[in-house]
Structure 1
Amino acid sequence: MNYEIIQEKQFKYIETQGGEETLLLLHGLFGALSNFEGILDHFGNSYNVVVPILPIFELPLRKVSVTGLVDYVADFIEYKGYDKINILGNSLGGHISLLYVLNHPHKVKTIILTGSSGLFESAMGTSFPKRGDYEFMKKKVQGTFYDPKIASKELVDEVFDIVNDRNKAIRIIATAKSAVRHNLGDKLHRITVPTLLVWGKEDQVTPAFVGEKFNELIENSELILLPECGHAPMMEHPEIFNQHLESFLQSVGAETLGH
């Protein structure tokens, strides 16, 4: 995966400029660009696929929260002049997507959520394991996936380095706590744009029942449950994930043309 990271003002991002429509991807708390490799490779030529790097470790401490990240995404979308975007979020990225849509409904064409927080999540708890415990961290990262082999050494090392950096660890905990406080259960009925929910049946972080609850609360939504899949379907089953995403985007496009 060779995509240049563009830096403009306070924003760092990837942009493929492959098509008219924008597909904006938002990563999770421990997310990285590699999480979206499958989507970038599949959609990069047909959509303008954009991945802003969320400033979880750069925001001023007083702004470290889900709402601070939503403000950042809103500023980024405004700065780039995007309109009628397709917004896709995994884990915390899903939570940010939902809050963005609630605040800017006219800017969004579709939402795609996969393993999204916002209703219920069981992640790190409220404290970190003692620093330096690599094996514990490795098990935690492996537990994100149905197939532990997806948790490459690079991925485990990345998470391990984050939790062993005191400044980063504080920010991760602050963001995770703020996500738990920002429960969206009473707001989701306000979302009317077409929504695709793709969940792993074996997701341990936001279990399958969370996807079912999102499906129940978001009126115009469809839920796809993938077997033998954990918290990051786009990493664990990229081809199946891309097929579902493609047919969803095409069906919404066809409906739009029909109106």
Structure 2
Amino acid sequence: MYFLYKEHQIHFTDDGQGDALVFLHGLGGNARNWTYQRQYFFSRRRMICLDLPGHGKSEGKSIGFSEFVDVVIALIDHLGIDKVAICGLSKGARAGLGVAARAKDRVSGLIVVNTCLYLSPSDQAARTMLYDELLLGPAGVQSWARQLLAQMAIAEGTTIYHGFLRSLDSLDRPYIRTLFQQIQDYDQRSEVATITSPTLLIHGAKDQIVPSYCHGELQQLIPHALHQVFEQCGHLPYLEAPERFNEAVDSFLRDQASPAT
């Protein structure tokens, strides 16, 4: 399915039934990343998986990262939904945080998976050097991918590892490098501090993409948030431990829907 955002065709999937749950993927990902979640929630919720601008089947590479929030809100409006829950990974989590901050009455629950709002100068420099390798040609993208997988704590030989390497053939390297810089430069901390939606923070303990101080900062900015640590997971717990992840999300959302006792 598609909807028109300004002059851009934006792709999404929409299946299942019940209260709406929107999934937002990470940098370089797409709506297909949430296969395990679509299978689990099919009989429980209406699941909407968005290809964020410039990703998957969506157009819109000229849309800046700060506008991704507007795209998500436009999709909710397009579907005529009053309230949604949002589950986002990394970059997608930051878009979800923005929706919860700017459209408080539209977000019934927010699940934030492995994201950060700020990196220290040394971490910024190291991350910039890593993403600069995308512009060095085939050898650079292979080096970038293997370093990134190591930092995400994805073991060699796993299905996730090989799937990530296969996806490199369709990667728009200059676009991803540009979008990475926009994400890194975007300071969202003051906005996030205004969030009132029920929030679950999920942290993969082995993840090195998101430093531990980033999780602490999110807990300070959203003091009412619940926090779960997946000790055996890295950056992608929804793929590494899908059963536990799905149950955590389901339980959190059911608790929000239950009347207070």
**Do the structures match in fold with TM over 0.5?**
yes
Q: Does 1:7 align with 2:35?
A: no
Q: Give the Å deviation of 1:31.
A: 1.2
Pick the aligned partner of 1:147 from 155, 166, 170.
155
Q: Does 1:161 align with 2:167?
A: no
Q: What whole-Å deviation, never above 9, does each CA across 1:53-81 have from its counterpart, x for those lacking one?
A: 112253253x3x21222222121111111
Q: How many residues align?
A: 244
Q: Distance in 2 between the 1:55 and 1:93 partners?
A: 11
Q: What whole-Å deviation, never above 9, does each CA across 1:101-122 have from its counterpart, x for those lacking one?
A: 2111111111100012423386
Q: Give the Å deviation of 1:155.
A: 2.2
What does residue range 155-234 of structure 1 map to in structure 2 within 5 Å? 155-162=164-171, 168-234=172-238
SS at match of 1:171: helix
SS at match of 2:193: helix
Q: Give the Å deviation of 1:97.
A: 0.7
Q: Give the Å deviation of 1:201.
A: 0.3
More displaced stretch, 208-217 vs 78-87: 208-217
What does residue range 119-130 of structure 1 map to in structure 2 within 5 Å? 119-120=118-119, 123=127, 125=129, 127-129=132-134, 130=136
Q: Give the Å deviation of 1:229.
A: 1.0
C-alpha RMSD over aligned residues: 2.1
Taking a change above 3 Å as real, the CA distance of residues 96 and 170 of structure 1, as seen in their structure-2 partners, is same
Amino acid at match of 1:131: G
The runs of 5 or more residues in structure 2 that have no matched partner are: none
More displaced stretch, 102-111 vs 184-193: 184-193
Q: Partner of 1:131 in structure 2?
A: 137
- Asked if the contact 1:137/1:160 (under 8 Å) is kept, the reply is no
Q: What whole-Å deviation, never above 9, does each CA across 1:117-137 have from its counterpart, x for those lacking one?
A: 423386554523421126414
Q: Give the Å deviation of 1:222.
A: 0.9
Q: What whole-Å deviation, never above 9, does each CA across 1:148-205 have from its counterpart, x for those lacking one?
A: 424343321213531xxxxx32221222111112222233221111100111001111
- Asked if the contact 1:117/1:179 (under 8 Å) is kept, the reply is no
Taking a change above 3 Å as real, the CA distance of residues 210 and 109 of structure 1, as seen in their structure-2 partners, is same
Q: Distance in 2 between the 1:156 and 1:34 partners?
A: 16
Taking a change above 3 Å as real, the CA distance of residues 44 and 150 of structure 1, as seen in their structure-2 partners, is same
Taking a change above 3 Å as real, the CA distance of residues 186 and 240 of structure 1, as seen in their structure-2 partners, is same
